Amino acid sequence: MYRYSTYILVLLLLTAYSGSSQTAEEVIHQIRTKLEKVNDYEAKGKMKTNVTFIKIPIANVTVYFKRPDKLRIKNDKGLSFVPKGTVNLNLGSLFTTGSNFDIIDVGKESGSNLRIIKMLPREENADVVLSTLYIDEQKMVIKKAKTTTRENGTYELDLTYGKYAEYGLADKVIFSFNTKDYKLPKGVTFDYDDGSDEKIPDKMKNRKGKVEITYSSYSINKGVPDAVFNSP
């Protein structure tokens, strides 16, 4: 029976895919619906930060989320250096402006077969200027999202799914963002010149930074107290 139903499902999907392709609006709607199944979660994972001007150890983190847009990353121990903007790790935040945006269907990305949909908020002063989503229509999940903001440059999410795909929750997220200039007042540190600085020129300038979180487990819709979102 199980085998049979799977067969039916695949067949249906194939039909849907090859035949009457869904509209962009429909796809967005399905994805939103899926994401809205998750009210809150608490996830364990490892966070790797890659920013040129700082070296940070891999951190064991807990990520807390609560709808609609609360997200917090906490280090289990050690210094918790979390890049600003990681609140956007939560895909739901793409849709917080409700349905108040224009949807443009760009079609399929050649090679990967991902559906590309652009969303432009209609609100004049919204921070987000443009979001581009790359969607796996088979699993109905967002594989990649590029967001351009007024204030904080462009950031990008790359997502890999596993057993939490049904909730639209990724096993691995790579968050890319623009770093701000790094500068220290001279005379504060009295550096030792070990000759290793010349190898990396211009690393203080505006560049891309990356955060990679690999989740090991999610605990979904079990309730998360609001207190965890309050600083610190």
Partner 1 sequence: MWQLFQIEVYKIFRRPRTYIAFAVIAFIILLIQIGLKFGGKEYVGIVMSGLNETFEAPTDQVLNGYFVCYLTLNLLLIHIPILVALIAGDMISGEASMGTLRLIVAKPVSRSRLLLIKFTASCFYTLILLIWVAIFALLLSVLLFGTNDLLVAKVSGSNIISSADVLWRYFAAFVFAGIGLITVAALSFMFSVFADNSIGPIVATVCVIIVFTILTQMQIPFYDETVKPYLFTTHMLGWKGFFYVKGVEGVTVDGSIENFPAIVKSGLILLVYAALFVFVAIWYFRKKNILS
- Total site size for partner 1, rule CB under 8 A: 44
β-bridge partners, 104? 118
230 near partner 1 (CB under 8 A): no
User: What is the DSSP code string of 94-141?
Assistant: GGTTTT-EEEEEEEEPTTT--EEEEEEE--TT-SEEEEEEEEETTTTE
185 near partner 1 (CB under 8 A): yes
* Cα–Cα distance measured from residue 211 to residue 175, given in angstroms and rounded to the nearest whole number: 5
Q: How many CA atoms lie within 13 A of 2 on its CB side?
A: 0
232 near partner 1 (CB under 8 A): yes
Please check whether residue 214 is in contact with residue 160, taking contact to mean a CB–CB distance below 8 angstroms: no
Query: If you search the block for the tokens 């996830």, which residue do you land on?
Result: 43
Distance from chain centroid for Cα 121: 18
167 near partner 1 (CB under 8 A): no
- For 168, other C-beta atoms within 10 Å of its C-beta total 22
- For 119, other C-beta atoms within 10 Å of its C-beta total 20
* Cα–Cα distance measured from residue 108 to residue 135, given in angstroms and rounded to the nearest whole number: 9
Out of 195, 223, 227, 230, name the contact with partner 1 by CB under 8 A. Answer: 195
Task: For the CB of residue 125, give the shortest distance to partner 1 in the complex, in Å.
Answer: 23
Out of 1, 2, 18, 79, name the contact with partner 1 by CB under 8 A. Answer: 79
Using CB under 8 A, which of the segments 10-18, 28-36, 77-85, 108-116 binds partner 1? 77-85
Task: For the CB of residue 231, give the shortest distance to partner 1 in the complex, in Å.
Answer: 8
Rule CB under 8 A: which of 16-35 touch partner 1?
Answer: none
160 near partner 1 (CB under 8 A): no
202 near partner 1 (CB under 8 A): no
184 near partner 1 (CB under 8 A): yes
Token pair of 61 as six digits: 């983190």
211: nearest Cα among 160, 158, 167: 158
Out of 49, 88, 90, 131, name the contact with partner 1 by CB under 8 A. Answer: 49
Hey, what amino acid is at 167? Y
Minimum CB distance to partner 1 smaller for 52 or for 97: 52
150 near partner 1 (CB under 8 A): no
204 near partner 1 (CB under 8 A): yes
List contacts with partner 1 (CB under 8 A): 48-58, 77-84, 179-197, 200, 203-204, 209-210, 232
